[in-house]
């Protein structure tokens, strides 16, 4: 008789799958032996697998975070088995607003809370058994790291973009050009009409020269309007302002013009656009970047204002419709508005401008059907017809795009049409009968009508003719326009990288220009006692008098934005401890760009675009040898939470089960999912959750309290957060890893449901039992494998390898299950089959595989075991059980050798009695035979 052993003897773990012991053992082993340490000197080919590093928030990791990390970990391990030297690092995007807000509330230094959060993150990550080389960890808030963020900023500050060569060059070379020939070959990006020759340049005062250079620098100082919220003490983003108040707290906000640093990313627009073609990213992702860059070709045309010397410049993609211009629209913020508005319209225009001031761009966008505007009283002269065209202002024209003014063609543009109808402006039809008077004709097809020399011409041809004519008249030129705007690079905050910049008499200098030494970097973030903003909307650093005032000038008190550190972190991992340079050239030449980058789509246009630009700039300036950061990009979907609700009867402490809630007036309350099993509430645990529930009473149905359920975003406030630690503690890291992969395709969003995890856990136990018997212990034999067993193995190797390459991890897990089910059915415990299988599963369940690998008699870790290769001879099928369809409907099955001749197949099929029955004596029309697939008989 078998008795359950009372003590776990040393052999215990060899009998039963003891995930806790196994995982602890191997995590310690990996750490002690530095199994995941990666060198930069290797004769192996390199492979760089990168996760988007996390912002260490106070909430810790939830089960959604590791989804991408597990996928990349599988890939990294797989590539290592395949003989690559794999770089797979992790770090923290540690500067950011939440830490600062927390500091404002609690007075705790962001460095302290960030450190705590990182510690927590690290514990959680370690739990899951990732193969990160932690010796390469980076933190963007570490002075040793941001020293180089500041250094790169200085490189951008000390360079300009040469449009003729399409690359960044040192500003000193621009100075040499100016001294030689002025700027005739290098128009000023800020103002293309600005011209000077060499003598003019030499005549300028040093301050004037520096001002001029500022208009060329890639990192430059300019002005911008920002939403300033006094109460929150920060500048707010557009979408943080709703109805003219701050979204958080509802405090008043004002627009404030401030000195801001910018990155001249617009100069890179074309290159950022064109090199997308060579990237292995999803089409959706590329499309998002294309739309963001928003290249459009057309013309810039100046319209003379009746009675003024100024012109209204517009950009249009449809210069061919110029005869259909019925009015002009300026953005309400346009500089000319105040100049040209006539006396009688002043009041209305001012009132309208005030209305627009209070509206965020979000609102201006969301309410499309609402047409608003005001007439300025001014007119422009149509350059071809000489007619007077009224000038309006409206919020649907944005100051930031194009010239901030449009020529409105109501017969050809929906919004112009709505505007004309609303304000009763007569509409000129330039599309003949294609325009029906009710809806604008905005297609780019057909001919232009009623348009003098353009009448009867196709759109394409008409555009060309129109531009020619516009150029001839000297009123404009062909122009390429981009939606992309230069990137604001200043934040009025504390918890970010200080700028390595000091001002002398209002002129900014890189600190390397005045001290002359790069060793002055980093400019360290000083400790502050208060996180309150400085005077006049400046950042908190402005409050530290003795930090701001140096012997060499006054420091810049803004800090850099969140994306500064993340724009280049992938380079630092290559050589993270270098104090001489951001990364040794030998290291960057070896590792080059990231081979696989995994992360969410939320960074589609921010981080990913800035990284691309920084990489291109560093490449232009000769610091690295490649100009794209991320060769292949995989987007992981969001894991949503499944919230649970309880129903409290109004004014009582009695909770009614979901099925009975209609009989009462109830409050719907989120309940923490950890007190709910499926839909059934653990009422005792619930009572202990919070003091106010201690005396809760319940109205049950069938003896149970049933909760309501809903799928929502996983968040602390919804009590639907599932902590990976809990899952790992119960089922083990290997089960957790495989279950996350089994949930579905990596790129699809899906709700978390812990229920299904049992299946994966059972699978691992079942696989374990191929090697170990509960009572007999190790049961692997040295018997030779049969063909059937080899077929199962090689089929699995083939499927898993292919699936990993295409990131189809959910089907990989399925295949493992199929394989183990089949081997179990065959009662196969053979070394020849089970050893390769252990290697195969190592990327997915690394602790599990290590233990098996050791049991199989190997010294050391499984991570460097060669990945098994599948062989055609074992996988090959030589016959196929064909479905036979009659008129496309499957009616019978017949088995044929794969190489059977079609005429023989046809003969055999047509003599099958089921086939004969279904042909109902009708003549054969067509016989379709797809070898290896199916057969269709058409009658």
CA–CA separation, 425 vs 417, rounded Å? 9
Interacting positions 334-363 with RNA (CB under 7 A): 361-362
Residue 102 C-beta: closest distance to RNA, Å: 23
d(CA 270, CA 553): 38
| Token pair in block for residue 740 | 């996350």
Report, in Å, the least distance between residue 456 CB and RNA: 22
Closest CA to 18 of 823, 852, 781: 852
Q: Specify the DSSP class assigned to residue 552.
A: T
The answer to whether the CB of 19 falls within 8 A of the CB of 847 is yes
Q: How many CB atoms lie within 10 A of CB 651?
A: 8
User: Applying CB under 7 A, does 421 fall inside the site for RNA?
Assistant: no
What is the nearest approach in angstroms of RNA to the Cβ of residue 738?
10
Identified binder of RNA from the candidate list 53, 763, 771, 848, rule CB under 7 A: 763
* Torsion sign (Cα): 695, 701, 704, 707: negative
Region from 301-309, 510-518, 563-571, 742-750 binding RNA, contact rule CB under 7 A: 742-750
Q: Which tokens belong to 830? A: 């053979």
- Report the distance separating Cα 819 and Cα 83, nearest Å: 25
What does the alpha-carbon distance between residue 874 and residue 551 come to, in Å, rounded to a whole number? 78
Phi, psi of 540 (to 5 degrees): -55, -25
Q: For residue 560, what are its two tokens?
A: 């850099």
Which pair of structure tokens corresponds to residue 914? 């089921």
- Which residue from 386, 426, 651, 888 is in contact with RNA, where contact means CB under 7 A? 888
Shortest gap between Cβ of 825 and RNA (angstroms)?
Answer: 7
Q: Rounded to an integer, what distance in angstroms lies between the CA atom of residue 626 and that of residue 46?
A: 15
Least distance (Å) between residue 756 CB and RNA: 4
Q: Are 127 and 728 in contact (CB under 8 A)?
A: yes
CB of 314: closest distance to RNA in angstroms? Answer: 7
Question: Looking at 85, 127, 316, 543, which residue binds RNA (CB under 7 A)?
Answer: 316
CB of 332 to RNA, least distance (A): 10
How far apart are the C-alpha atoms of 309 and 307, rounded to whole Å? 7
Closer by beta carbon to RNA, 16 or else 584: 16
Least separation in angstroms between residue 131's CB and RNA is 25
| Residue 683 CB, nearest approach to RNA (Å) | 19
Q: Is 679 in the site for RNA (CB under 7 A)?
A: no
Phi-psi region of 516 (alpha: psi -120 to 50; beta: other; left: phi over 0): left
Residue ranges with strand state E in 339-484: 374-381, 388-393, 405-408, 476-482
* Shortest spacing between CB 222 and RNA, in angstroms: 17
Q: Please give the structure tokens belonging to residue 910.
A: 């047509």
Query: Rounded CA gap, 667 and 657, in Å?
Result: 12
Measured from the CB atom, is 353 or 483 closer to RNA?
Answer: 483
The pair of structure tokens assigned to 798 is 């083939």
Stretch that binds RNA, among 248-256, 495-503, 683-691, 927-935 (CB under 7 A): 927-935
Residues in region 785-844 near RNA by CB under 7 A: 808, 810-811, 813-814, 817-818, 821, 824-825
- Does position 741 bind RNA by CB under 7 A? no
Contacts to RNA from residues 526-565, by CB under 7 A: none
Query: Smaller CB distance to RNA: residue 158 or 616?
Result: 616
DSSP state of 498: B
Least separation, in Å, of the C-beta of 423 and RNA? 14
Q: Work out how close the CB of 26 gets to RNA at its nearest, in angstroms, rounded to a whole number.
A: 22
Report whether the peptide linkage leading into residue 522 is cis, meaning its omega lies within 30 degrees of zero.
yes
For residues 364 and 847, which CB has a smaller minimum distance to RNA in the complex? 364
Task: Report helix, strand or coil for 898.
Answer: coil
Quick one: which of 364, 417, 603, 829 contacts RNA (CB under 7 A)?
A: 364
Nearest CB to RNA, comparing residues 318 and 616: 318
When binding is defined by CB under 7 A, the residue of 19, 79, 147, 318 that contacts RNA is: 318
Instruction: Name, in order, each residue with C-beta under 8 angstroms of 591's C-beta and a sequence gap of 6 or more.
Output: 40, 46, 48, 87, 574
Quick check: 60 binds RNA (CB under 7 A)?
no
Which pair of structure tokens corresponds to residue 453? 């020399």
Beta-carbon count within 10 A of 910 CB: 13
740 lies in the site for RNA, by CB under 7 A? no
* CA distances for 176 relative to 59, 179, 181, 192, 203, angstroms: 54, 5, 9, 20, 15
Q: Please report, as residue ranges, which positions from 438 to 497 form the binding site for RNA (by CB under 7 A).
A: 483-485
For 67, the token pair is 């989804």
Asked whether 789 and 833 are in contact (CB, 8 A), the reply is yes
Enter the tokens of residue 129: 């058994």
When binding is defined by CB under 7 A, the residue of 228, 375, 396, 853 that contacts RNA is 396
Query: How many residues bind RNA, per CB under 7 A?
Result: 87
Among 765, 876, 907, 922, binds RNA (CB under 7 A): 765
Nearer to RNA, 146 or 807 (CB): 807
Q: Which of 307, 400, 622, 897 binds RNA (CB under 7 A)?
A: 400
- Ramachandran angles phi, psi of 304, nearest 5°: -70, 135
756 near RNA, rule: CB under 7 A: yes
Burial of 100 (0-12, 13-18, 19+ CB in 10 A): buried
Helices (H), 827-870: 831-841, 846-855
Q: Is residue 275 within the footprint of RNA (CB under 7 A)?
A: no
Is 931 among the residues that bind RNA (CB under 7 A)?
no
Q: Is 897 in the site for RNA (CB under 7 A)?
A: no
- State which residue, 1 or 309, has the beta carbon closest to RNA: 1
Q: Which of residues 285-314 bind RNA (CB under 7 A)?
A: 287-288, 291-292, 294, 296, 298
| Cβ at position 43, least distance to RNA in Å | 36
Site for RNA in 236-265 (CB under 7 A): 238-239
Distance in Å, CB of 269 to RNA, minimum? 10
Report the 10 Å Cβ neighbour count for 872.
Answer: 8
Shortest Cβ distance from residue 635 to RNA (Å)? Answer: 10
Query: Which among 99-107, 304-312, 448-456, 757-765 is the span making contact with RNA, rule CB under 7 A?
Result: 757-765
Interacting positions 181-240 with RNA (CB under 7 A): 238-239
Q: Of the candidates 129, 404, 534, 724, which one interacts with RNA according to CB under 7 A?
A: 404
Site for RNA in 580-609 (CB under 7 A): 601-602, 605
Find the binder of RNA among 368, 471, 866, 924 (CB under 7 A): 368
Q: Which residues contact 546 (CB under 8 A, 6 or more apart)?
A: none
Name the segment binding RNA (CB under 7 A); options: 84-92, 115-123, 385-393, 746-754: 746-754
- Indicate the residue among 292 and 582 with the shorter CB distance to RNA: 292
Q: What residues between 863 and 882 interact with RNA by CB under 7 A?
A: 881
Tell me whether residue 554 or residue 715 sits nearer to RNA (CB atom): 715
Closest CA to 232 of 245, 219, 244, 220: 245
In angstroms, the Cα distances linking 820 to 130, 420, 841 are: 25, 71, 11
Task: Confirm if 765 and 791 have CB atoms less than 8 A apart.
Answer: no
* In the complex, minimum distance from the CB of residue 255 to RNA, in angstroms, rounded to a whole number: 15
Nearer to RNA (CB atom), residue 125 or residue 741: 741
Applying CB under 7 A, which of residues 34, 893, 901, 904 lies at the interface with RNA? 893
């Amino acid at each position: 008789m078998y008795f359950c052993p009372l003590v776990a003897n040393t052999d215990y773990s060899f009998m039963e799958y003891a995930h806790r012991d196994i995982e602890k053992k191997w995590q310690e082993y990996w750490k002690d032996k530095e199994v995941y340490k990666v060198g930069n000197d290797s004769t192996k080919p390199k492979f760089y697998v990168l996760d988007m590093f996390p912002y260490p928030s106070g909430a810790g990791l939830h089960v959604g975070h590791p989804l991408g990390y597990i996928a990349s970990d599988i890939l990294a391990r797989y590539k290592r088995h395949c003989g690559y030297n794999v770089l797979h690092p992790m770090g923290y995007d540690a500067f950011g607003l939440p830490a600062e807000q927390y500091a404002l509330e609690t007075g705790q230094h962001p460095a302290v809370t960030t450190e705590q959060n990182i510690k927590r993150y690290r514990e959680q990550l370690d739990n899951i058994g990732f193969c990160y080389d932690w010796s390469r960890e980076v933190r963007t808030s570490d002075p040793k790291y941001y020293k180089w963020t500041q250094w790169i900023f200085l490189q951008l500050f000390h360079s300009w973009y040469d449009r003729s060569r399409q690359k960044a060059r040192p500003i000193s070379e621009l100075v040499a050009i100016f001294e030689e020939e002025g700027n005739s070959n290098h128009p000023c990006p800020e103002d293309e009409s600005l011209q000077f020759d060499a003598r003019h340049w030499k005549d300028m005062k040093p301050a004037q020269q520096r001002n001029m250079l500022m208009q060329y620098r890639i990192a430059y100082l300019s002005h911008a309007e920002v939403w300033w919220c006094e109460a929150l003490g920060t500048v707010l983003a557009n979408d943080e302002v709703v109805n003219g108040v701050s979204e958080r707290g509802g405090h008043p906000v004002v627009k404030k013009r401030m000195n801001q640093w910018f990155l001249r990313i617009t100069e890179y627009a074309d290159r950022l656009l064109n090199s997308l073609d060579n990237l292995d990213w999803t089409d959706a992702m590329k499309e998002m970047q294309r739309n963001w860059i928003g290249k459009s070709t057309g013309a810039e045309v100046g319209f003379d204002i009746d009675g003024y010397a100024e012109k209204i410049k517009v950009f249009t993609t449809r210069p061919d419709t110029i005869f259909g211009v019925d009015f002009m629209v300026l953005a309400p913020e346009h500089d000319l508005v105040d100049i040209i508005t006539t006396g009688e319209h002043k009041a209305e225009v001012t009132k309208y401008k005030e209305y627009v001031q209070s509206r965020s761009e979000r609102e201006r966008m969301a309410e499309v059907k609402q047409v608003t505007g005001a007439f300025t009283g001014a007119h422009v002269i149509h350059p071809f017809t000489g007619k007077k065209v009224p000038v309006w202002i409206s919020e649907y024209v944005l100051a930031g795009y194009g010239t901030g003014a449009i020529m409105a063609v109501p017969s050809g543009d929906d919004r112009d049409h709505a505007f004309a109808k609303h304000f009763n402006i007569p509409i000129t039809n330039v599309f003949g009968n294609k325009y029906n008077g009710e809806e604008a004709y905005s297609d780019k097809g057909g001919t232009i009508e009623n348009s003098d020399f353009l009448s009867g011409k196709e759109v394409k041809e008409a555009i060309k003719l129109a531009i020619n004519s516009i150029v001839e008249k000297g009123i404009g030129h062909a122009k390429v326009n981009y939606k992309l705007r230069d990137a604001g690079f200043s934040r009025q905050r504390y918890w970010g990288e200080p700028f390595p910049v000091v001002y002398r008499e209002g002129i900014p200098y890189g600190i390397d220009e005045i001290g002359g030494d790069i060793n002055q970097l980093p400019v360290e973030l000083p400790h502050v006692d208060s996180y309150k903003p400085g005077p006049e909307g400046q950042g908190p650093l402005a409050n530290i008098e003795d930090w701001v005032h140096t012997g060499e000038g006054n420091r810049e008190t803004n800090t850099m934005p969140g994306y500064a550190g993340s724009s280049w972190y992938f380079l630092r991992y290559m050589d993270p401890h270098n104090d001489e340079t951001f990364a040794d050239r030998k290291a960057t030449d070896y590792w080059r760009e990231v081979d696989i980058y995994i992360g969410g789509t939320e960074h589609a246009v921010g981080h990913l675009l800035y990284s691309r630009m920084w990489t291109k700039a560093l490449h232009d300036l000769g610091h690295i040898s490649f100009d794209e950061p991320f060769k292949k990009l995989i987007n992981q979907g969001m894991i949503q939470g499944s919230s649970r609700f309880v129903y409290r009867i109004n004014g009582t402490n009695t909770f009614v089960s979901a099925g009975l809630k209609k009989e009462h007036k109830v409050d719907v309350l989120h309940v923490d999912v950890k007190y709910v099993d499926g839909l059934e509430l653990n009422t005792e645990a619930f009572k202990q959750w919070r003091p106010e529930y201690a005396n809760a009473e319940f109205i049950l149905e069938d003896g149970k309290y049933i909760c309501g359920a809903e799928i929502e975003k996983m968040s602390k406030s919804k009590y639907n957060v599932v902590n990976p630690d809990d899952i790992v503690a119960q089922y083990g890291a290997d089960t957790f890893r495989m279950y996350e992969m089994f949930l579905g395709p990596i790129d699809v969003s899906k709700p978390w449901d812990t229920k299904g995890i049992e299946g994966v856990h059972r699978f691992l136990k079942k696989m374990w039992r191929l090697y170990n018997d509960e009572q007999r212990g190790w049961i692997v034999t040295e018997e030779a494998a049969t063909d059937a067993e080899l077929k199962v193995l090689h089929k699995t190797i083939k499927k898993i390898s292919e699936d990993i390459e295409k990131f189809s991890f959910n089907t990989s897990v399925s295949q493992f299950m199929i394989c183990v089910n089949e081997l179990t059915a065959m009662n196969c415990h053979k070394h020849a089959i089970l050893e390769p299988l252990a290697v195969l599963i190592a990327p997915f369940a690394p602790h599990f595989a290590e233990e098996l690998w050791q049991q199989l008699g190997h010294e050391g870790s499984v991570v460097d075991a060669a990945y098994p290769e599948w062989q055609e001879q074992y996988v090959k099928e030589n016959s196929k059980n064909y479905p036979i369809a009659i008129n496309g409907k499957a009616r019978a099955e017949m088995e044929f050798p794969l190489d059977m001749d079609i005429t023989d197949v046809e003969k055999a099929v047509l003599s099958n009695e089921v086939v004969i029955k279904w042909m109902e004596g009708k003549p054969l029309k067509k016989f379709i035979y797809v070898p290896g697939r199916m057969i269709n008989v058409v009658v």
